[in-house]
Every structure is written in structure tokens, then in C-alpha cells.
């Protein structure tokens, strides 16, 4: 099923009105940060996970909590630490007893904080790989397995993880398999002076209330389904595939820059996420179908964490972002 020409404009206009209301609701709490907010909305409206990068104090947690409140979702925050255990995320089984005589009633599963609609994995790289992997099944399969029993997670289910880019002692790098599960790596920068003054004035008068819900679950799922139903031309999909192929140093389509500086390029999930994010970006801009420009607009956050540069790149101070910019400049549409 696709969005037909007859209903496309009406549905896109309704989508735009609802998103405009959502943005206004979020800006009651969050000052500025329009670009990261739009990228996070893109992830949410496609049912995808996001990785937030930023130094402390830039409202990463506030943005995520405000989004959950506006969507009227069950929100859960997990503070990742070196001693965090997998069962602290997924939940655990315990022996249940009858309240009257204390006799055993068998094993009972107590759900962990991952059983929420929006899970904030705060400082995810502070936990050991074994604990990080406990979240991977939930992100990939939308269910949790404990004691041989599988427990589905309620839709919608999103994980937004945060990382602190400046404090790396006592951290464990995320494995490539887990990084690939995040649609985007979203970077949050310092606010402008005007925005910082507004932040100071708002936050020193008392505790800011979270925004009131503007969507219910059914409305959100309808918007998410609309994003998935947006048609994409074969040429735009082929362009996304060419971009990812050009980042793979051993591929015959590889760009010379990738052959020189890239150790590992973006896989097929990169192409999928480019197209899906481009669909959401087009709708957010009020258009019914994504263009080459939509793919280019989301390419940096979608591909940045999927391209691993080599030692030569590190020596020459070349980052994955610079590789992506080079590919965007040279790969034909």
C-alpha cells in the first residue's frame, strides 16, 4: 500500500499541522536546539533509535523527557555504570510465594526499565559490553528473553542513548553491531548567547513543568505508518545505495577518499536508514516524496557512526564527517 496522489496532500498537511503543534509544545521547555530536535523527531517518527552526543548540561535528558511527555509515552531512564548488570535492564525472575501461608508459587518475572515506550540509556558507554548487549536484543528484535521465555516490548519502542564525548576514562566503546542499530548519531552543541540567556531566565525561576501530551498512541502510530508509506523513487533509493557503496574501501564503487582513509564503510542498514530518514525529512518539510536533497540533508547523522576511519585518517586528522562531506560532493545524483 502506498500514499496515493489524491490523499497525499491532505495527509501531509495534517502531518505538518500535528508536527508544528508538537514543536511548539517542546519549545515550551527546550530553548533552541532546533536541528537536533528535528533529527530526534525524524528518528521518533520512523520508529528508530538515536544516539545523542554532547557535553554535560546541554539538555540531552530534558529533550528526551519532553518528547516522551508530549507523546504521552511511558518513559524510563537507565543510568549506565560499570557495575550495571544485564538483569538491571531487562528484568529478572524471582521466586513468588503465596501471601497467606508462604508456600512457593513458582517463578515470576519482574520487568526491568527497558519495558517502556521511550528508554533513555544515559552514558551508555560506561557499562561493560555484556550489559550493553542486553539492550541490543531489545533494540533489534523488540523483545527480551529471560530464563528461556520471550517477552515482547510494547509499540512504540525507542531507545535514545547518550554519550559524553570529552570524558573517556572508565568507558567501553560501543561495538559496531550496536552502533549500527542507531539510525542517527545526533550531536548537540552549545546554545547561542541569546538562547543561553533565555535558558538562564527560564530555569532560575523554579522547576520547569514538562509539556502536556499532544498525541495519543494511536495518533503517533498513524503518523509513523504514514512515513513508512511515503513513496520513494528508484533514482533516490539508488543514490542512497551509491553513497553507502562509495564509503566501502573494498567495493568496486569505492571513492578514492574512502580507499585511502576508511577501514569499514556503511552497510545495507545505512542505505535503508538514509531512505527512511529522507522520507521523514520530506514530510517534515511539507513534501510528499523525498528528493536527492533530503538524502543529503540526513546523510551526516545517518552515516557518521557507520564509517570507521583507519590509522592513516587519524594521523592526517580526517574524521568520518569529512569523508561523508567528500562523498556528498563527488557522488553523482
Its sign, for the CA torsion 112, 115, 117, 121, is: positive
The confidence score (pLDDT) of residue 7 equals 54
Please tell me the distance from the alpha carbon of residue 41 to that of residue 94, in angstroms, as a whole number: 38
Closest to 262 measured CA to CA, from 271, 278, 250, 277: 250
**pLDDT tens, residue by residue, 190-212:** 888 988 888 888 888 777 778 88
3 state SS of 163: strand
Query: String of b and e for 309-322 (b: at least 16 CB within 10 Å)?
Result: beeebeeeebebbe
Domain presence at residue 279? yes
User: How many residues comprise the chain?
Assistant: 333
The confidence score (pLDDT) of residue 1 equals 43
Closest to 127 measured CA to CA, from 116, 135, 118: 135
3 state SS of 117: coil
Where residue 247 sits, what CATH number does that domain have?
1.10.8.80
Query: Are 243 and 299 in contact, with CB atoms under 8 Å apart?
Result: yes
Please tell me the distance from the alpha carbon of residue 289 to that of residue 323, in angstroms, as a whole number: 27
Please tell me the distance from the alpha carbon of residue 98 to that of residue 266, in angstroms, as a whole number: 54
Query: Are 205 and 235 in contact, with CB atoms under 8 Å apart?
Result: no
The confidence score (pLDDT) of residue 2 equals 47
Domain presence at residue 324? yes
Contacts of 120 (CB under 8 A, 6+ apart): 61, 64, 65, 75, 76, 77, 78, 160, 161, 162
Domain presence at residue 311? yes
Domain presence at residue 38? no
Closest to 63 measured CA to CA, from 79, 41, 48, 45: 41
Taking 50 as the pLDDT cut, the residues of the chain under it are 1-3
Domain presence at residue 296? yes
Please tell me the distance from the alpha carbon of residue 245 to that of residue 269, in angstroms, as a whole number: 12
Contacts of 36 (CB under 8 A, 6+ apart): 52, 63, 186, 187, 188
Q: How many domains does the chain have?
A: 1
Please tell me the distance from the alpha carbon of residue 86 to that of residue 317, in angstroms, as a whole number: 37
Domain presence at residue 286? yes
Phi, psi (deg, nearest 5) at residue 53: -115, 130
Contacts of 77 (CB under 8 A, 6+ apart): 61, 65, 113, 119, 120, 122
Query: Are 224 and 158 in contact, with CB atoms under 8 Å apart?
Result: no
The parent domain of residue 280 ranges over 233-333
Domain presence at residue 293? yes
Predicted TM-score of the model (pTM) = 0.85
Domain presence at residue 248? yes
Amino acid at each position: 500500500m502506498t500514499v496515493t496522489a489524491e490523499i497525499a496532500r491532505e495527509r501531509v498537511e495534517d502531518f505538518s499541522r500535528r508536527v508544528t503543534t508538537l514543536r511548539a509544545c517542546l519549545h515550551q521547555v527546550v530553548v533552541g536546539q532546533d536541528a537536533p530536535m528535528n533529527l530526534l523527531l525524524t528518528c521518533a517518527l520512523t520508529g528508530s533509535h538515536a544516539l545523542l552526543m554532547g557535553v554535560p548540561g546541554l539538555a540531552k535528558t530534558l529533550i528526551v523527557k519532553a518528547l516522551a511527555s508530549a507523546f504521552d509515552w511511558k518513559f524510563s531512564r537507565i543510568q549506565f555504570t560499570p557495575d550495571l548488570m544485564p538483569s538491571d535492564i531487562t528484568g529478572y525472575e524471582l521466586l513468588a510465594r503465596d501471601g497467606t501461608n508462604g508456600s512457593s508459587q513458582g517463578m515470576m518475572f519482574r520487568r526491568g526499565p527497558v519495558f517502556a515506550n521511550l528508554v533513555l540509556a544515559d552514558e551508555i558507554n560506561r557499562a561493560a559490553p555484556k550489559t550493553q548487549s542486553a539492550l541490543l536484543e531489545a533494540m533489534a528484535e523488540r523483545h527480551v528473553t529471560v530464563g528461556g521465555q520471550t517477552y515482547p516490548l510494547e509499540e512504540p519502542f525507542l531507545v535514545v542513548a547518550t554519550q559524553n564525548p570529552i570524558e573517556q576514562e572508565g568507558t567501553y566503546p560501543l561495538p559496531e553491531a550496536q552502533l549500527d542499530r542507531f539510525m542517527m548519531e545526533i550531536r548537540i552543541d552549545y546554545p547561542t548567547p541569546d538562547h543561553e540567556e533565555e535558558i538562564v531566565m527560564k530555569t532560575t525561576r523554579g522547576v520547569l513543568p514538562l509539556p502536556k501530551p499532544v498525541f495519543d498512541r494511536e495518533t503517533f502510530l498513524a503518523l509513523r505508518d504514514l512515513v513508512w508509506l511515503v513513496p520513494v523513487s528508484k533514482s533516490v533509493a539508488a543514490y542512497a545505495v551509491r553513497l553507502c557503496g562509495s564509503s566501502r574501501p573494498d567495493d568496486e564503487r569505492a571513492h578514492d577518499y574512502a580507499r585511502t582513509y576508511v577501514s569499514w564503510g556503511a552497510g545495507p542498514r545505512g542505505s535503508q536508514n538514509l531512505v527512511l530518514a529522507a522520507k521523514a525529512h520530506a514530510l517534515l518539510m511539507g513534501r510528499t516524496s523525498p528528493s536527492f536533497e533530503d538524502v543529503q540533508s540526513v546523510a551526516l547523522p545517518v552515516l557518521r557512526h557507520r564509517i570507521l576511519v583507519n590509522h592513516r585518517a587519524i594521523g592526517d586528522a580526517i574524521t568520518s564527517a569529512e569523508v561523508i562531506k567528500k562523498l556528498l560532493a563527488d557522488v553523482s545524483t
